[in-house]
Amino acid sequence: MKLYIDSANVEKITRINEYYPLAGVTTNPTILATEGRPYLETLKNIRSIIGMDKELFVQVLGDKAEEMVDEGKYIVDAISGKVVVKVPVTEEGLKAIRMLSAENIPVLATTIYTGMQALLAAMSGAKYVAPYVNRIDNLPGDGLRVVSNIVHMFLQYDLGCEVLAASFKNVQQVYDAALAGAQAVTVSPDIIEKFVAFPSTKVDVSEFRQKWTAAFGKDHSNLG
């Protein structure tokens, strides 16, 4: 399972990248706009934090397939390292996914609400599909069921496309996506920090330290 951070905030990315096994960073137009900085500058800053080998995802905004392809190529040229172009699954988006993939530019098919959208995106050459778990739940629908159906379909048809589940609002949704077999998840920094913020773990650690200190004194290390 691969873990991505869904953010363009350089401070948060720096912190999460230090502690967690990140595979890369996903952004979207809203996330980049929130930072209030020129977007290329932000993306280059992110690249310098995560290094060349981790994937950086950037979404295109064009209406027509040709515009999306031009934007995708521009982004790949402008940012060094591994870049994945995010393309929304519309009719034009499907065409753009096919065109970009034909040029070996990796694509994540985004804004996915149904298994059918995911299937078509994978058949068009997408490397990843991103079902929007929480946004599907809010329709209301069943985001996790969509994730699980897509995982099952991709295995059945041996499509070689990975499910990168997105749009989470709590830790349980992320855990359920992992149990459903999603190959990857992208999660906001606030939720990632909750992954290990478990009160009982803190209590246990503090109890172990107290016992040690009572027996051996203030030196907390056991290195001799």
Catalytic positions, please? 86
* H-type alpha helices, 84-221: 91-102, 115-123, 133-137, 143-156, 171-179, 189-192, 199-216
How far apart, in whole angstroms, are the C-alpha atoms of residue 200 and residue 113? Answer: 37
Nearer to ligand E4P, 62 or 212 (CB): 62
Q: Report in angstroms how near the CB of residue 216 gets to ligand E4P at its nearest.
A: 48
Q: Which of 22, 56, 118, 166 binds ligand E4P (CB under 6 A)?
A: 166
Q: Least distance to ligand E4P from the beta carbon of 12, Å?
A: 15
130 binds ligand E4P (CB under 6 A): yes
In sequence order, what E strands does 54-105 have?
55-59, 83-88
In this structure, are strands 55-59 and 184-187 parallel, antiparallel, or unpaired? unpaired
135 touches ligand E4P by CB under 6 A: yes
Rg (CA), the chain: 20
Encoded tokens for 106: 């990796």
Which residue lies nearer to ligand E4P by CB, 76 or 165? 165
> How many C-alpha atoms does 122 have within 13 Å on its Cβ side?
25
167 binds ligand E4P (CB under 6 A): yes
User: Quick check: 5 and 34 in contact, CB under 8 A?
Assistant: no
Q: Which of 34, 48, 80, 134 binds ligand E4P (CB under 6 A)?
A: 134
Shortest distance, CB of residue 28 to ligand E4P, whole angstroms? 4
Residue number, 90 or 212, with CB nearest to ligand E4P: 90
Using CB under 6 A as the binding rule, whether residue 7 contacts ligand E4P is answered as no
Helices 39-50 and 10-19, packing angle to 10 deg:
20
Task: Supply the minimum distance, in Å, between the C-beta of residue 113 and ligand E4P.
Answer: 11
Give, for 22, the enclosing helix (H) or strand (E): strand 22-26
Establish if 13 lies at the interface with ligand E4P (CB under 6 A). no
Binders of ligand E4P in range 176-195 (CB under 6 A): 186
Segment contacting ligand E4P (CB under 6 A): 11-19, 36-44, 131-139, 176-184?
A: 131-139
Contact present, 106 and 127 (Cβ < 8 Å): yes
Residues within the interface to ligand E4P (CB under 6 A): 6, 26, 28, 110, 130, 132, 134-135, 166-167, 186
